[in-house]
Amino acid sequence: MAVISAGKGKSKYDIHINGSSLPKKILNKHLGNKNKILIVTDNGVPKGHIKKLKSNINNKNINILTLSNGENSKSFNSYQKILNKLFELKFDRSDILIAFGGGMVGDISGFSAATYLRGIKYIQIPTTLLAQVDSSVGGKTAINVTQGKNLVGAFYNPSLVLISTHFLQTLADHEYKSGLGEVVKYALIGNKKLKKIIEKNSKEIIKRNESILKVIIEESIKTKSKIVTKDEKENGIRAILNFGHTFGHAIEAHNNYKNITHGAAITLGMVIASKLSFFEGHINNYQLDNVVNLINSLELNTDHSGYSYSKLKKYIETDKKIKNGKLNLILIDKKFNAFVTSNFNNKNISKALN
């Protein structure tokens, strides 16, 4: 079992990464035996996983709230449902919420925990790869509103994150690949060890070999937790976690957030950002090939030919990272370190996209 710490001071928390089991002792120590527990999940999480979680909890005061699966549930309506449940159960600050599911469940449960009674404890037990390597760590919580995705939320750290690779065996292939997109991101923004591990073990990763999964999740979280602990509220370095995301978000928006997963979109975004890094002279053609081969080795799509500059332009320009009218992009250099820059030739963006 690996344990990684994130956060600072009072909002410090541990992330435990396990194979097939959950760390029962730690979970129960955290839950205590007198508190109330509310598990928030969604109906796409296999019942067997929920059973397994319940069987690991000694405290029998367990309540479960099941949302419909899918991004539509990350809504004001579901937020109110969770709050109503907490009021109905007369939750106080000693009681604990558990987010058990993917990033959708994690984000809305975290936001509910952040705001109910101005903050109660919550535990993240992420069950998708994307949630395990990304959304469960870093304390960003949110819901979607009609004005846009993730526009209402809070920075609010969980008190514990428990990861078991076992949950990943039931994930749909496209959801698994979506998470792999974020794993590749950490390899390309500075985690050289992870990059080597992927290069050597791509076949085993595709097969979801649990011992290799544990290693790539651990390396991904090491990179994420280091960055988010340095920059909890996204004033600086945290921006490099958005490598591939400006183009990826444009692709998602162009598709009305349908028919393409977040990971698949940002994977294409990373290819485009790497091409731009090449045209800007930060990497050479071998390094560009290296990026594309790394992504292909995991059987992720790198073909962005359906997304021309003319199709994506308007989304790129409204990207929220535009500051003072300047578009900030995350590029990579020849040592595979990421950096933020607003200094690039616009013509190279259209070149990268064509």
CA distance linking residue 127 with residue 171, whole number of Å: 9
- Choosing from 59, 61, 63, 69, the residue that interacts with ligand NAD (CB under 6 A) is 69
- Minimal distance in Å, beta carbon 208 to ligand NAD? 11
- Can residue 175 be called a binding residue for ligand NAD (CB under 6 A)? yes
Axis crossing angle, helix 76-88 with helix 103-115, rounded to the nearest 10: 60
Q: Is the distance from CB of 26 to CB of 250 less than 8 angstroms?
A: no
The Cα 140–Cα 151 span in angstroms is 11
Q: Walk across the sheet containing 37-42 and list its strands.
A: 2-6, 13-18, 160-164, 121-126, 96-101, 37-42, 62-67
Of 11, 308, 354, which Cα lies nearest the Cα of 155? 11
Q: Per rule CB under 6 A, is residue 127 in the interface with ligand NAD?
A: yes
Active-site residue flag, 218: no
**Contact between 131 and ligand NAD per CB under 6 A:** yes
Listed ranges 68-76, 116-124, 212-220, 232-240: which one lies at the site for ligand NAD (CB under 6 A): 68-76
Residue closer to ligand NAD (CB basis): 232 or 313: 232
Regarding 170 and contact with ligand NAD (CB under 6 A), the answer is yes
Which CB, 68 or 84, lies closer to ligand NAD? 68
- Identify the residue among 23, 101, 248, 269 touching ligand NAD (CB under 6 A): 101
How many Å apart are CA 278 and CA 272, to the nearest integer? 10
Shortest CB 348 distance to ligand NAD, Å:
28
State the DSSP code for 68.
Answer: P
State the catalytic residue, choosing from 140, 185, 275, 282: 140
Closer residue to ligand NAD, CB minimum distance, 85 or 140: 140
Using CB atoms within 10 Å of the CB of residue 14, give its burial: 0 to 12 exposed, 13 to 18 middle, 19+ buried. middle
CB 268 within 8 A of CB 255: no
297-300 contacts, C-beta under 8 A, 24 or more apart: 297/198, 297/199, 297/202, 298/177, 298/180, 298/184, 298/198, 298/202, 298/205, 298/206, 299/177, 299/206, 300/177, 300/180, 300/181, 300/184, 300/263, 300/264, 300/267
Based on the residue annotation, tell me whether 304 is a catalytic residue of this protein: no
Q: Is 167 in the site for ligand NAD (CB under 6 A)?
A: yes
252 is a site residue for ligand NAD (CB under 6 A): no
Q: Which amino acid is at 201?
A: N
Nearer to ligand NAD, 39 or 171 (CB): 171
Note whether 178 binds ligand NAD by CB under 6 A: yes
The reply to whether 171 sits near ligand NAD by the rule CB under 6 A is yes
- Residues numbered 259 to 298 that lie near ligand NAD (CB under 6 A) are 262
- Nearest distance in Å: CB 93, ligand NAD: 23
Residue of 36, 74, 85, 195 interacting with ligand NAD (CB under 6 A): 74
Catalytic residue among 121, 195, 214, 238: 238
Is 232 known to be catalytic?
Answer: no
Task: Tell me: does residue 105 bind ligand NAD (CB under 6 A).
Answer: yes
What are the distances in angstroms from CA 251 to CA 309, 313, 351? 11, 10, 17
For residue 54, which amino acid is it?
K
Return residues touching ligand NAD (CB under 6 A): 42, 44-46, 49, 69-71, 74, 101-105, 107, 127-128, 130-131, 134-135, 138, 140, 150, 167, 170-171, 175, 178, 262
Which residues are catalytically annotated? 118, 140, 182, 224, 234, 238, 242, 245, 249, 262
